[in-house]
Chain A
Amino acid sequence: MGLRKEFDVPQPMSFSARLDTPKIVTLALWGVLGSLPIVVLISRIAGVPIEGLAIIISALTLFAGALVATYSNRYMRSDARSARFFGSLGALVACVLLFVLTNNAILFALAWVASGLLLAGLIGHNEEWIEARAAAERSRRTFLVGDLTVLGALGLLCWHAGTLRLDVAIAASSAMPEALVSAIALLLLAGAAARCALPPFSGWLLSSMTAPTPISALMHAGLVNAGGFLLLRFTPVLEAAPAARYAAIALGFIAALWGIGIMAVRPDIKRSLAGSTVSQMGFMIMSLGLGAYAAALWHIVAHGLFKAWLFLNAGSAIGVQADRRPALDSRVVTVIAPTTLAIGCVLALSGSARGDLVPLLLAAATGAATLGTILIEKVGSASRLTIAAILAGLALLHVLGFELAQAALPIAHAAMLSTSLAIFILATFLGGWVWQSRRIASRSPLPAPLYVRLLNAGTLSPALPGERP
């Protein structure tokens, strides 16, 4: 229940209200986004070029932030604390920009921690609402754990490298003792998992629907993937620590499947989207572990846009038609999946496989399956052509995006960590897909124990101690 006080007697105009915070923040975000290319250019000329990764993440965050702010000018028009809302929104984006662009460990840490606190504050934007306060508190606690590990990792790294310059410290990591690097990498992974809402940290994201819709959009577009950015920023550390890479793969793999399960059982649009985010973040972290850096970066960008759009559009879900539960044709999937797996095996055995084998093959399989479904379905040839053309366009965008990510990263992909592991993962995703599409086609429900667990995942415990009114 929202316990908004709509009945506050209008306060005398505060200074911030007179400033028209919404307009200022919105314009500032668009302004900074617009000047980003100039800043990049100047940095090149000045001889301190901004890295591709930083440019891409900055652009994504600014773009999502500016859109969300513009949207919120209408959406949050009757919000009682709109100055604070827009202020936090602007500060949040600024924090992300700061930790993305800075090379100073202390600034990085400060901005990183501040972004988490601001986000938690926005989840609890409606202060009078018990549930919102509880959700904010839960995020705060999760971030506290995650942030402590990140601070620990930064501390260890800088202490041993003897510098606060991140680039120098990261470069020095290859010379550090293996146990130390592993520890640092594992700490970083834990921090990333907390932000990315991977199990066991998914609860905060799955119960964050107390946030106003635009905040959810920004959260899923620009904030949850901070974990992915963190690992990409510290790629050399990760590469020096195979144990952390294995852990990332395992954690991401579990999250990817678990999140899809959550998405499949949720009856409400927003929590269903949150389940999907857990899954997508899992896949991204897993790809990072496998060494598919460019694929992971592109995933961060594309998924961010994809999910922001779905959240901002969540009001439209009311018209969803009953009993049009969609499925890719299960026969097509049944053919495509083993074929893809076979190709994967051949590539792996031939030794030409790279770290991004899994994401790339799954992308190809997805394209083939959608195309196959169109060909089988009873539609006119004109429609078929149109849909196929759309598919081709999407595939092209995907390839372009992937190329962009490759160009942006100094190392686009690492060597394959373990061929058999990659094949195992591929087989699981493809096998699960076949099982899923057959189950949906035959309309058979999930086993009851699994269903209930998925439905309950991340539920905010309804009564907090001492919260009973």
Chain B
Amino acid sequence: MNMHSPLVATDPLLTRTEVAGLVALAARTVPPMWPLESAIAVNPLAGFEDRPFSEAVRAAAELFGARESLPLEVWRGLLDRGRIEESALRDAAIRALGGTYKAMANIAPGVMAIDVLMARLLEAETAKPMASGEGSDPAAAFIAKWCAAFFDQAISASPMPHRDLGLYRAVLTLARHDAEYAKLTGEAGQTLLLTVPRDPYEAIAEGLAECVGDSDPLGHLSAHVARLPGWAGHIRWRAEHADRERVAHAPAGIADLLALWLLLERTGAVPEREERSARGNPVRWLARHFGLDLEGLDPAKANRLADIASLDEGSLGGLFMQAAEWTYANALVPKLQHATRVEPTAARPDAQLVFCIDVRSEPFRRQIERTGSYETFGYAGFFGLPIALHSERAGHRKRLLPVLLSPQHDVTEGVVAGKADEANQVAAHDLRSVQTASLFNAAKLGTGSAFATAEATGPLAGLAMMARTLAPRLAERSRARQEQRRQQVFEPKLVYQTDSDIFSLAEKIGYASALFHLTGMKAETARLVVLAGHGASAVNNPYATALDCGACGGHAGGANARVLVAMLNDPEVRQGMAAQGVAIPHDTWFLAAQHDTTTDEVTIFDRCRVPESHLAELATVERDLKAAGKANRERRAPLLNRTPEDLLIGAAHWGEIRPEWGLAGNAAFLVGPRNWSKDIDLEGRAFLHSYNWETDPSGEALTTILTAPMVVAQWISCQYLFSTIDNQRYGAGDKVTQNVLGGIGVVQGNGGDLKVGLPCQSLFTDMGEPFHVPQRLLTVVQAPLELVEAVVTGNDILARLFGKGWVQLVVVDPQTGKALRWREDDADEQDGYTIRSITC
């Protein structure tokens, strides 16, 4: 043993494995972000869901440099317009002050604590809206530029060199040619380019050792991930959810991104995160407002005043949000409570229609129910089918299922029997359009052909512009017709061409019966049962897929409906279902359809298969669907400040920035039979999942509903909520200055971070007021309390979502007729926020 070896300090470098662990944890700062061609709503704060809601909002605001709530001015505007009740705000304020007794305590003669807080909420002058300063950080601009170049799917004809090396190494290779890099990092940058490890994990280890030592490496990495949340989210999508063949040409992980950030940080190019500006002190304002003598107050009361004055805008905004939630709940829950005892109708309805749980289905269902003897159901719009669809035209496969699941069956689009000739025509037409477009794209790029191409296509472009601007529906007609023909001659096939089944009989029976088990639909079905998926028709709109079915992974849901209908009409499947106790009447015919949420028109699929005996009924249903669509357009038009007719024009117009409101306004998730909510106008703000507790003694169906569709609804709710609160950081900003990266998403203006969330046009009215009032999802379940309690406490996800206040749960117990609110984990029992009757 060599006694003279110098004392070696512990190696400051983390091992590769340690770094990998840190990187994986840091990556969770942002949720994966799906490309806009199949937009998925995600909670931008998904990485904070293990904390209580308000704490998470605060921490995320800190990390992302975002607002915690809407500016007070905006909340006050909502209050003025009656979207929030002042009494609810007062209740929230009283609770914040620690209950009625403390709230009523005097601070000065005739001035109670509650008065002071209400004055702050309603009258005190507010800080100027915080301006977020992204875009002025050259380091972020540098990384964003290379991310855009590296991940480019389709726009550039000359892709970035060395993409096969991975993001980090490719940028290292190119950075020495990059004048901007030189300007940003100076000499230190050039030296580092030569010495920095080529492996991103080793580079991170070195960078961490140099920049943070061992104080808080994870916090440091998380802060870097949060600097460009959009690109980080895109990388997570690529790594965790993308089909490999789509992304293999440009491999990248969060480690690449972090290695780049640390590279810049080592050269001193990364600016310190700015502290948010100090808040003004409203004590003086309050003293003036109430005519208080600050000097003369006794210390306890002065402290009380100071406490109230020290509440920041985030906390005050939080009270407004609570008030908005209570305003909504106080109006809705009593109605649901009273409706619990409505007896179901016994007679067999003329038809039954199953819609997606989407909030846009509810008003349409109300309309169709009015037109005749129809019963409607709400079921997740992918109809329980974990499938991916391959179609010749789309190129890559579409995952038609919620992103929580992964596809179990790969369905291929095939020709409807007997329509081979027509199919060939349609396919030839499609191919021709693709080839013409491809020729055009090629020609406009060549140094020899670019100029003549512009000259030759210019007049045509002029005509096209005229048509699409002045006669948009005429211009869209040929495309719409082609789409219609395509849907008629192609269908998703349950069988491969080689005749091997994609679904086993048992699976088919399982998927078919799930409809009945989960929704509580009775086996004695009507003669016609329509399964309606939904999609939207928006033209020239990067956010078009955000209007499609979220349960189908941001696609239209017609294909799923067609597949399930094919199973349900299969005699073998019916036999199997009957053996399991779901005996569907022989005279029931299932029919697939698709509800267009922009135009409220419903397309019926596979009409040619409908037996003659059912044609008359189908005609009636179609007539009523049309009437329901018209009525629903009339209901929606004033909300959009347009005429019903204009909704149809807007759906085809290439300049229409807001073809429909999408899921804006979503507020509740109702789990229970339709009879329960049928007589309540839910104003298109509620997800409706049909459920019957009487057929679900084990709570299995309820668990599925709450852990799958409700979680999707919660993501949507959180996306709308946070996009509204801070449209720059959690949302996508103004649509009119967005710039599309093909197949990926949008950036603002000349570049920068990939935008997350929704654009302001999806959330705010033309006057700039929030159309979507930010509030957390309210889930109302109609079931016995014990059943719900067992389900929630037995499931970690649900215990967390309800316990940490991400979703509010109210149980309407049909046995006792009581409405009970789920208590949050940290709620103080004394303040009455416990399981209690909500109407007390």
Contacts and interface: CB of A to CB of B under 8 A. Distances in A.
A280 B655 CA distance: 26
Contacts of A390: 436
Contacts of A446: 158, 161
A257 B435 CA distance: 26
B36 A309 contact: no
A354 to B, nearest CB: 17
B466 A67 contact: yes
Question: What size tier do the contact residues of chain A reach?
Answer: 35 or more
B657 A74 contact: yes
A394 B460 contact: yes
Given A260-B450, A366-B449, A462-B138, A315 B542 contact: yes
A280 B452 CA distance: 10
A312 B654 contact: yes
Contacts of B816: none
Interface stretch (A86-94, A154-162, A189-197, A264-272): A264-272
A446 B742 CA distance: 21
A72 interface: yes
Interface in A1-29: 1-10
Nearest to B728: A1
A440 B452 contact: no
A302 B456 contact: yes
B442 A328 contact: yes
Interface in B430-459: 431-432, 434-436, 438-439, 441-459
Given A7-B129, A362-B449, A445-B158, A315 B541 contact: yes
Main secondary structure of the interface of A (DSSP, over half): helix
A320 to B, nearest CB: 4
- For A72, A316, A321, A367, which residue has the most chain B Cβ atoms within 10 angstroms? A321
B794 interface: no
A433 B455 contact: no
Interface in A55-81: 63, 67, 70-80
A304 interface: yes
A268 B432 contact: no
Interface stretch (A128-136, A170-178, A238-246, A414-422): A128-136
Interface stretch (B285-293, B683-691, B746-754): B746-754
Interface in A186-214: 207, 209-214
Interface string B263-284: 0000000010010000000000
B448 A1 contact: no
A397 B71 CA distance: 56
A1 B746 CA distance: 12
Nearest to B742: A320
A337 interface: yes
Contacts, number: 402
Interface string A443-469: 001111101110110011111000111
Nearest to B768: A6
A386 B439 CA distance: 13
A70 B73 contact: no
Contacts of A131: 135-136, 748-750, 752
B446 A305 contact: no
B134 to A, nearest CB: 4
B23 to A, nearest CB: 25
Contacts of B77: 9-10
B428 to A, nearest CB: 6
B273 to A, nearest CB: 12
A265 B177 CA distance: 15
B8 interface: no
B212 interface: no
B452 A269 contact: no
Contacts of B162: 445, 448
Contact of A2 (B70, B442, B737): B737
B775 interface: no
A280 B451 contact: yes
B465 A430 contact: no
A410 to B, nearest CB: 22
Given A383-B432, A445-B159, A280 B450 contact: yes
A440 B443 CA distance: 13
Contacts of A460: 750
A412 to B, nearest CB: 16
B658 A77 contact: yes
Nearest to B541: A315
B656 A74 contact: yes
Nearest to B764: A6
A309 B161 contact: no
Contacts of B539: 316
A401 B736 contact: no
Contacts of A316: 539-540, 654
B469 A325 contact: no
A10 B542 contact: no
Contacts of B135: 1, 129-131, 462
A42 interface: no
Contacts of A436: 445-447
B131 A76 contact: no
Interface string A349-361: 0000000000100
B271 to A, nearest CB: 8
B455 A379 contact: no
Nearest to A443: B159
Contact of A315 (B469, B540, B737): B540
A372 to B, nearest CB: 11
Interface in B668-708: none
Contacts of A67: 465-466, 469
Which 7 pairs between the two chains have the least Cβ-Cβ distance? Answer: A302-B458, A433-B448, A320-B742, A267-B152, A309-B461, A469-B133, A445-B161
Given A257-B447, A318-B37, 6 more contacts: A283-B451, A319-B37, A325-B154, A373-B439, A453-B177, A462-B137
24 contacts: A3-B131, A212-B737, A214-B655, A268-B740, A268-B751, A269-B740, A299-B451, A302-B457, A306-B461, A307-B454, A308-B461, A313-B540, A314-B739, A321-B154, A323-B249, A328-B449, A333-B446, A359-B452, A362-B449, A366-B443, A383-B432, A445-B159, A446-B158, A469-B136
Interface of B: 36-37, 70-71, 73-74, 77, 129, 131-138, 141, 145, 148-149, 151-162, 173-174, 177-180, 246, 249, 271, 274, 395-396, 428, 431-432, 434-436, 438-439, 441-462, 464-466, 469-470, 539-542, 544, 650, 653-658, 727-728, 733-734, 736-737, 739-743, 745-752, 760-761, 764-769
